[in-house]
Structure 1
Amino acid sequence: MQPVWTEDDRLATLRSYRVLDTPSEPTFDDLVQLAARACQAPIALISLIDERRQWFKAEVGLGVRETPLDRSICLTAMLEPGLTIIPNLTNDPRFAHNPLVTGEPHLRFYAGAVLRTPDGVPLGALCVFDRVARDLPEEQASTLTLLARQVMSQLELRREIAERDERLEAARQIEQRQALLVRELHHRVKNTLATVQALVGATGRSTGSFDEFYRSFSNRIASLAKTHNLLTEDYWQTASLREIAVNELKPFAESRQPRFMLIGPHVELSADLAVPVGMALHELTTNAVRYGALSVPAGYVRVQWSVSENEGVRKLHLEWSEFGGPPVSEPQHQGFGTMLLQRVLPMQCHAEVEVRYDPEGLRFRMNAPLVERRLVPAY
């Protein structure tokens, strides 16, 4: 009768027990001792058949923990129903030339009870060896079969305990992650509300009418929301600098003539850096649309960044450059955008900032340390 399992199925089932290459355990050591004593045999093994070897969860009398498959007698025995008894290995053509028979330890007698899962998949055998040819009395055969069932019961129990521990550990990690998420969300909401409050005051001071205030404030809140959308995709942890820039410059992405260039490696910004950088790019874009390079058809913007490392500290270098716009001059009064670039970024991000009003186009440079630590671990 053909088995209902394939070798791939059998190997997958064996690995599901998570037992291969594990240390010795008293429960299994005791069972091989009992098998050796009950069968009056000098050698006893719990043999598990892997794809390239037979590995012994427990052994007595052999002195090794594994052998190649070409020396395995259990490989043949586990495919037989019930108990396999070979009174004299030298008389069996399947094993007469086995190195363990022709050489040390000169095995002669073998008896093995298959280790079979509840689904009928064989994993190996509980076996005993002797150095002399002999038979196995019925009482010893029954005991060996009984002990093999006990080995299988212990393997089942061991797997259930391992799976339980994995579930408990997964539940602990989920609970820890949820607690960290709540902490981060609380922190982020407080920061966002403080940012909105600051936006209200700063926008009110820099606008001359309610309509202008409403328009500027709404645009800034929309920019803030775009950055927050990127952050929530990663549980309030990081957002891609390129995506932040694209969010601000998206209205110019479909122009027949390129209006902006983004040059730089993939960089993830922590939440505390992503929000002010997103707001800075919004103010630079708004200014470029009103007065700078994006206010005329031929103008364009280049956003370039890189990351350097010095004494274990990684820094972001970001540069905004405008080309082809109207002549630039330094503004007569400081608005919210200028204040954000020159005062808020250094204060919030420990950034070094430079704003140059070159006649050929505005230049903005920023160097800021990157925050590497994630509060909430990734799945």
Structure 2
Amino acid sequence: MLREHDIRVETASGTGDLASRLSASPGVLLLTHEALTPAVLATVAAHLGNQQAWSEMPIIVLLDRGSPDTRIKAELSHAWPKTRQMFYKRPVMTVELVSGVQAALLARLRQRDVRDHISREIELRRELNHRVKNILASVASIFEMTRRGATSLEGFAEDFRGRLGALDKVHSAVFHADGEVVSISEVADLTFDPYRHGGLDRIVTRGPAVLLSREAGTTLALCLHELATNAIKYGALSQPGGQVTFEWSVTAYEPRELCMTWTESGGPPVKEPGRAGYGTRYLKAALKGMLGQNPDIIFDREGLRCRACGALSRVGGNP
């Protein structure tokens, strides 16, 4: 009867077979009251006891016209507490049974939707916890980086605010992209926007489409912010005619390599410092961690140059 209405039916023969089929978490369990032996009651009870919190398997029992309904229902309520039980008298009308089974299957489907929703919620909580920990670690690292290079409280506050802003923009870009990657061009635009005033673009950016993982994008944003801040204080952007070019390229041959270059021009004459400052040390450590190779930072008299290269596969998100 059920198969004729395109309802899949599997028949269990014996308690061992019943236990096996129950383990597959069927949509509905249908029994006659004659099949309710102690062994069957115990097998079903064991399965119900091991169900997940979201699960409530519907059970349909077909009663004979002369069966002791009250006693059977009482025994089943005791043997299988907290279950959704439905009872039909035989002979049952086709439309009545089919409608009952379909309603039970729909309820079961909704239970599984709840299960999937719970699973997604758990996964989202784990991911949120992971991301919050990463963000806090990044903030702590930025704080230490800023503290070590600070010479005044005002300078510390300004640098710390700027670095947090760079971090915030990259995380926002990844979020709005609805994924785990962000492009180099987007990182550059977000980082350099505060330095582009009145339509005058003194920071030129160019390069092919390259995607970065969230971690690589955050690292690049902080490095570009560091370079831009230095250029504003001491380099090309400290003078009206100065300009900065940030460009990147990817080799066509395997293994593919990403190269990024920062070039300043038109600023005051550059002198190599007697010792590396914290900003320089950070750039070297961060870019090496991102690309796997030490960057070249050249204090050329015509303008600071920074070139960093490494395997494209390290930054993630690229085919």
Quickly name the TM-score band, shorter chain normalised.
Answer: 0.5 to 0.7
CA deviation digits over 1:45-74, x for unaligned, max 9?
A: xxxxxxxxxxxxxxxxxxxxxxxxxxxxxx
Partner amino acid for 1:204? R
CA distance in 2, matches of 1:251, 1:185: 29
Partner residue in 2 for 1:361 = 303
Tell me the CA shift for residue 332 of structure 1.
Answer: 3.0
How far did 1:287 drift?
Answer: 0.6
Q: Which amino acid aligns with 1:334?
A: A
Q: Which residue of 2 aligns with 1:182?
A: 125
Instruction: Pick one of 227, 239, 256 that aligns with 1:296.
Output: 239
CA distance in 2, matches of 1:228, 1:171: 31
For residue 226 of structure 2, the aligned residue among 258, 264, 283 is: 283
In 2, are the aligned partners of 1:302 and 1:322 still within 8 Å (CA)? yes
Identity %: 35
**Count of residue pairs the alignment pairs up:** 225
Q: Does 1:242 align with 2:188?
A: no
Q: Is the 8 A contact 2:262 2:306 kept in 1?
A: yes
Q: Distance in 1 between matches of 2:293 and 2:260?
A: 11
Per the TM alignment, residue 239 of structure 1 is displaced from its structure 2 partner at its CA by 1.9
Alignment check: 8 A CA contact 1:320 1:363 kept: yes
Match of 1:205 among 144, 148, 161: 148
Alignment partner, residue 157 of structure 2: 214
1:194 aligned to 2:137? yes
Answer whether contact 1:293 1:300 (CA < 8 A) is retained: yes
Query: In the TM superposition, what is the alpha-carbon distance from 1:173 to its structure 2 partner?
Result: 7.2
Please say if residues 185 and 236 of structure 1, whose CA atoms lie closer than 8 Å, have aligned partners that are also in contact: no
What residue is the counterpart of 1:337 in the other structure?
Answer: 279
Match of 1:227 among 167, 170, 180: 170
Assess if the C-alpha contact under 8 Å between 2:170 and 2:221 holds in 1.
Answer: yes
TM-score, with normalisation over the residues of structure 2? 0.58
- What SS class does the counterpart of residue 295 from structure 2 fall into? strand
Name the structure, 1 or 2, with higher relative contact order (CA <8 Å, separation 6+): 2
Q: Which residue does 2:56 correspond to in 1?
A: none
User: How big is the alpha-carbon RMSD for the aligned residues of Structure 1 and Structure 2?
Assistant: 3.7
1:330 and 1:175 map into 2 onto residues whose CA distance is 58
Contact 2:180 2:214 survives alignment (8 Å): yes
- The amino acid across from 2:135 in the alignment is T
Amino acid at match of 2:207: G
2:270 maps to: 328
TM-score (norm 1): 0.50
**What's the counterpart of residue 249 of structure 2?**
306
- Alpha-carbon deviations, 1:285-331, whole Å to 9, x = none? 101111111111111111111233655x5543211111211111222
Contact 1:181 1:235 in 2 (8 A): no
Alignment partner of 1:370 is 2:306: no
Structure 2 residue runs without a partner (length 5+): 6-97
User: What's the CA shift for 1:279?
Assistant: 0.2
Residue 267 of structure 1, CA deviation: 2.3
Query: Cα gap change, 1:315/1:182 in structure 2, threshold over 3 Å: closer, same or farther?
Result: farther
SS of structure 2 residue aligned to 1:330: coil
Name the structure where strand makes up a greater proportion of residues: 1
1:1-379 matches, within 5 Å, as 178-235=121-178, 237-255=180-198, 257-308=200-251, 311=254, 314-368=256-310, 369-372=314-317
Question: Are the counterparts in 1 of residues 211 and 318 from structure 2 also a CA contact under 8 Å?
Answer: no
Contact 1:263–1:304 (CA under 8 A) maintained in structure 2: yes
Counterpart secondary structure, 1:305: strand
| Cα offset, 1:252, TM superposition | 3.7
Residue-by-residue CA offset, 1:231-264 (whole Å, 9 max, x unaligned): 2224561222212111222134344543121111
Pick closer, same or farther for the CA change 1:295–1:371 going to 2, 3 Å: same
Inter-CA distance 324–193: structure 2 relative to 1 (3 Å threshold): same
1:294–1:301 Cα contact (<8 Å) kept: yes
1-structure distance, mates of 2:249, 2:120: 32
Name the CA shift for 1:307/1:333 in 2 (closer, same or farther; >3 Å). same
Letter in 1 for 2:260: L
Match of 1:61 in 2: none
Do 2:146 and 2:160's aligned partners in 1 also have CA atoms closer than 8 Å?
yes
Look up the SS of the partner of 1:327 in the other structure: coil
Answer whether contact 2:181 2:317 (CA < 8 A) is retained: no
